[in-house]
Amino acid sequence: MPVITGALDGAVNAEMVSRAMLQGLKPVGLNLSAGNACQFTVNTKLGAVGIAKPADATLLNVLPC
């Protein structure tokens, strides 16, 4: 699981931000754990499946739309 989250949070996120910048956008690369926006629990019946629930939306609320 750390390899998957590392890839999505790191390489893929950076690639998406880079491509958006090439289009003249001003992207911000965030993940679900940034600013404690979500909390996660593991559903043991499904194996290594995380269940995300909203937590602190402060960071998301300060971002311009």
pLDDT in tens, 21-39: 999 999 988 887 788 999 9
> Which pLDDT does position 3 carry in this prediction?
63
pLDDT in tens, 5-19: 666 667 888 899 999
Q: Find the mean pLDDT for residues 39-48.
A: 87
* Residues whose CB falls within 8 Å of the CB of residue 37, separated by 6 or more in sequence, listed in order: 30, 54, 55, 56, 57, 59, 60
| Confidence band of 4 (pLDDT split at 50, 70, 90) | low
| Confidence band of 65 (pLDDT split at 50, 70, 90) | confident
